[in-house]
Amino acid sequence: MSRRAVFLSKLLDARARGAETSYTIGAFMVRFLTAGESHGRALVVILEGIPAGLSIDIDAITADLRRRQGGYGRGRRMAIESDRADILSGVRAGETIGGPIAMSIENRDWVNWQHTMRTTSEPPADAGGARRAPVTRPRPGHADLAGVAKYGRADVRDILERASARETAARVAAGAVARQFLGQAGIRITSHVFAIGQAHLPEGSTVTFEAADALASDAPLRCVDADVERRMIDEIDRARDAGDTKGGAFEVIATGVPVGLGSYVQWDRKLDGRLAHAMMSIPAIKAVGIGLGPEVAARPGSRVHDEIVPDPTGPRATGVSRPSNNAGGLEGGVTNGEDLRVSAWMKPISTLMKPLRSVDLTTMAEASAAIERSEVCAVPAAAGVGEAMVALVLSDALTEKFGGDSVAELQRAMRAWTTTIREQFASKQG
């Protein structure tokens, strides 16, 4: 049966049942692109696929950007920048209009980098900032060496400016819009940090959405256990004193996610794979887990798989519930109605105040790695970026499943879907 025939069959069936519904042929994708360098004039992001009719809260976008700049262990630049997204297109009178949303985030430190980061071949007469020498000593753990080899550049600054985690500010701005869109579908997202270095929550700990969401936006490390957080701070202080850096791990939790997002029919449509891709794209993330994550390898199946029990009066449309959520809300690449849980492990930042050995690319002689302005630990900030990436992936999956050129149209489709699922499972009960 063709897709059009399937569409007509669904539409006629919905009308026969008197259901309010909306179906689309083909996927309606949410995607984004960013541009800009760490010390360039501005970052730019274009977000496409957000339906029309979404009221935009610019203060909420600013709050998410502020969170990305916070956390214990951050560097001096966070005191310079005070990020704010300026919406350039796609929004009119406070509401999305269905077109691409373009936003820019000014780099306030640009005045000190105009000479070095100019786009013209010769610096303008009034260009400010120092005349910085080329960077020729790549940092171990950064894109520096691989980048100059790949793109045939002599100055490592051509690589590090774009490879910098500063780019994630643009992602957070896009993710803040996606988060507001998900809110219209009843989906909320939060995160918490569960490890910094050797300080971590007890093995097997489960942090509820409510506990993570209750953390203050300016919490030092967004850890739900005050004693563990103090040990985390000690880890960061010791690393700073040693001229070193610290990594850690965080978990993003989404609640209110409907059953049926994603698919198992093709590898690139599995939602867990799409989430892993998104999280691994965040600078310094080296591992991703869903639910129990790596712990599933050490447990027997009886302590991994979540039992299914009848729950006809519960909140889920399927009429069942799970006593546990080891799967993290995903089975076979499809959401099952439980909270979505995605964890990520972040390596220590590459720029060390006591640099590691490297080579000077002008002579190929051994030399200490370059030192760029950096910080000791950025795990809480990465958690905020993780929230943004989960929001963007879920927005894509939501529009893929329910379609709709407007928020109201998507909400009608979701209500019809929920009614259909309830009827499907209710007919088998009793």
Helical spans, DSSP H, in 265-406:
271-280, 379-402
DSSP string over 182-227: HHTTT-EEEEEEEEETTEEPPTT----HHHHHTS-TT-SS--S-HH
Question: Which tokens go with 370?
Answer: 């370059």
Q: How many CA atoms lie within 13 A of 384 on its CB side?
A: 30
pLDDT in tens, the chain (430 residues): 444 444 445 444 544 444 443 344 344 489 999 999 999 999 999 999 999 999 999 999 999 999 999 899 876 655 566 899 999 999 999 999 999 999 999 999 999 999 999 999 999 988 989 899 999 999 999 999 999 999 999 999 999 999 999 999 999 999 999 999 999 999 999 999 999 999 999 988 999 999 999 999 889 999 999 999 999 999 999 999 999 999 999 999 999 999 999 999 999 999 999 999 999 999 999 999 999 999 999 999 999 999 999 998 888 889 999 999 999 999 999 999 999 999 999 999 999 999 999 999 999 999 999 998 779 999 999 999 999 999 999 999 999 999 999 999 999 999 999 999 999 888 776 5
What is the H or E stretch that residue 35 is in?
strand 31-35
33-89 pLDDT per residue, tens: 999 999 999 999 999 999 999 999 999 999 999 999 989 987 665 556 689 999 999
Answer yes or no: are the C-beta atoms of 166 and 38 closer than 8 Å: yes
